[in-house]
């Protein structure tokens, strides 16, 4: 794990509401997991309104990344360690 800027990532959407973020993540993911606010990815606590959904597709993470003063983005990140962390610690959802 590490800083998002140092990883291979793609931005799917910008300035989303948390509800919009959940809908986008659900539609783009083959696996979905619910995690609590504060769940850490890339050593950063996720910010949001529960339920926070993290998706996995093609062994990549899809999640809402909120940067204070910049808004919420949906990112797709190549992070094999993060994928395993979510599978071990997240609650699978449909």
Looking at the structure of the chain, the number of domains it has is 1
* Segment 3-32, tens digit of pLDDT: 666 678 899 999 999 999 999 999 999 999
Mean pLDDT of the chain: 92
pLDDT band at 67 (very low <50, low <70, confident <90, very high): confident
Model confidence, pTM: 0.90
59 torsion bin: left (phi>0), alpha (psi -120 to 50), beta (else): left
Pairing of strands 9-13, 60-67: unpaired
Q: Which residues of 61-74 are buried (b: 16+ CB within 10 A; e: fewer)?
A: bbbbbeeeeeebbb
Spatial distance between the Cα atoms of 69 and 24, rounded to a whole number of angstroms: 22
Domain hosting residue 87, numbered range: 4-93
* pLDDT for 1: 44
Is the C-alpha dihedral spanning 44, 45, 49, 51 positive or negative? Answer: positive
pLDDT band at 45 (very low <50, low <70, confident <90, very high): very high
* Residue (of 88, 75, 76) closest to 33 by Cα position: 88
């Amino acid at each position: 794990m590490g800083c998002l800027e140092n990883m291979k990532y793609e931005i799917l959407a910008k300035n989303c509401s948390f509800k919009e973020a959940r809908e986008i993540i659900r539609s783009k993911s083959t696996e979905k997991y619910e995690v609590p606010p504060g769940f850490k990815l890339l050593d950063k606590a996720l910010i949001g309104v529960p339920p926070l959904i993290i998706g996995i597709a093609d062994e990549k993470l899809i999640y809402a990344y909120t940067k204070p003063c910049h808004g919420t983005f949906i990112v797709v990140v190549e992070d094999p360690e993060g994928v395993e962390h979510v599978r071990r610690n997240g609650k699978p959802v449909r």
